[in-house]
Copies of this chain bind each other. A is one copy, B any other.
Amino acid sequence: MKLQSRQVNGNGFSYPVELHEDLNGLKEKLASLKDVSKFFIITNRQIAGIYEKYLFAELKSLSIPFHIIYVKPGEKNKHIDRLKKVYHELVKEDADRKAVIVAFGGGVIGDFAGFVASTYQRGIRFVQVPTTLLACVDSSVGGKVAVNLDLGKNMVGAFFQPEFVYAPLFALSTLPRREWSCGLAEIVKHAFLEGGELLNRLESTSRKDFHSGAEVLRYCIDESVRFKSSVVEQDEREGGLRAILNLGHTTGHAIESVTKYAKYSHGEAVSMGLMTALLLSKSVLGFSETNIERAVKMMKALELPLKINEKINEIIEHMDHDKKKEGSTLKFVLLEDFGKPKFGVSVGRDKILEVLKFQKGWDLLGR
């Protein structure tokens, strides 16, 4: 059953992001695409194992042939070295310019499959079927696709919009705890950036409420999609405004990098990074202590980590590597208030050091 639909409109693109209860309805959406030679579902065996009976039932009743390409799971396999095998499989399975790629999985699958679609034969159509909360509220919307290099995440990519996004919410019930954190961190980010009703609703919601599939989940997904779409519509290529969506990510990426992507999930690292951003906002832009308190309370109720455990110097070093050219200041997205983001704010190393030290000492305060 279709629950909600949002149209994402931009310069030269327009597509719906649809929330559905389950996979009944995917077949109809796929069949609505014109002039398709073959569908290529890119997924991993773990995900396919969970949805096999639903997915295959839908696909087999289509009149168009399909082929499933399995990739290895995890961020470390969203890698440039994994591309060639998939391109070769496409060639061998007769993928022509009328082929359509279906990215079936979380953010890793969506980014990887989307990049393949953006480059195979100079670009073929693709569809996103996000099965994680993160992919539903963030990565499947907006057309950022990419693979990693050993020297950096998402360093090779494209802006490439899907034909549609089909989010089957029943998939979220099978998510492990850490995957929930990933999605919740991005929802929190959207709430900080937008303020208003989304923020208010989140403040009165606990982690349990989300896990129990309450109506608040649907509301937050829909609002996140709406907010992110509105940003992407104004600035698809991140010439300016879209940069606000990096709130919390400068520190988050550094933490992931320092811990070699092994200790924290992306969402956990972003969660800590969001708190760094708020503390810097207080220090630099006069963001209020009351707001910090609100944010801490909310994120604790959502069971998102706030405290930093890593070596502060290493974190700053990794931030430096990202932004080598900027000298002794680094640029951040910060908030003047909830709903009032500013991007490209220069912050001196001394202030960053101070804030990170404070955040590292937080266990003493019971945070």
Instruction: Kindly report which residue of chain B lies nearest to residue A119, judged by CB atoms.
Output: B156
Task: Please name all residues of chain B whose beta carbon is closer than 8 Å to the beta carbon of A189 when the two chains form the complex.
Answer: none
Taking the complex as formed, is A87 at the interface, i.e. its CB lies under 8 A from any CB of chain B? yes
Q: Is the CB of A120 within 8 A of B152?
A: no
Interface stretch (choices A143-151, A180-188, A201-209, A298-306): A143-151
Per-residue contact bits, chain A 109-124, to B (CB 8 Å; 1 contact, 0 not): 0000000001111110
Q: Can you tell how many copies of this chain the complex includes?
A: 2
Q: Give bound CA distance, A152 to B238, whole Å.
A: 33
Task: Please name all residues of chain B whose beta carbon is closer than 8 Å to the beta carbon of A87 when the two chains form the complex.
Answer: 80, 149, 151, 155-156
Q: Give bound CA distance, A71 to B157, whole Å.
A: 21
Q: Is the CB of A118 within 8 A of B158?
A: yes
Q: Is the CB of A151 within 8 A of B91?
A: yes
Taking the complex as formed, is A177 at the interface, i.e. its CB lies under 8 A from any CB of chain B? no
Q: Give bound CA distance, A154 to B94, whole Å.
A: 15
User: Closest CB of chain B to A237's CB: distance in Å?
Assistant: 8
Task: Please name all residues of chain B whose beta carbon is closer than 8 Å to the beta carbon of A121 when the two chains form the complex.
Answer: 155-157
User: Closest CB of chain B to A100's CB: distance in Å?
Assistant: 15
Q: Is the CB of A96 within 8 A of B325?
A: yes
State the interface size on chain A (CB cutoff 8 A): 35
Q: Is the CB of B122 within 8 A of A157?
A: yes
Decide: A158 near B119, CB < 8 A? Known: A37-B325, A325-B37: yes
Taking the complex as formed, is A53 at the interface, i.e. its CB lies under 8 A from any CB of chain B? no
Q: Is the CB of A80 within 8 A of B91?
A: no
Decide: A325 near B156, CB < 8 A? Known: A12-B11, A84-B80: no
User: Closest CB of chain B to A334's CB: distance in Å?
Assistant: 20
Taking the complex as formed, is A324 at the interface, i.e. its CB lies under 8 A from any CB of chain B? yes
Task: Please name all residues of chain B whose beta carbon is closer than 8 Å to the beta carbon of A119 when the two chains form the complex.
Answer: 119, 156-158
User: Closest CB of chain B to A123's CB: distance in Å?
Assistant: 7
Taking the complex as formed, is A347 at the interface, i.e. its CB lies under 8 A from any CB of chain B? no
Taking the complex as formed, is A83 at the interface, i.e. its CB lies under 8 A from any CB of chain B? yes
Interface on A for B, CB 8 Å cutoff?
A: 11-12, 37, 80-81, 83-84, 87-88, 91-92, 94, 96, 118-123, 144, 146, 149-152, 154-159, 237-238, 324-325
Closest 5 CB pairs of A and B: A91-B151, A122-B157, A119-B156, A94-B324, A87-B149
Having A87-B155, A122-B146, one finds 5 other A-B pairs with CB under 8 Å, namely A94-B325, A121-B155, A122-B154, A122-B158, A123-B159
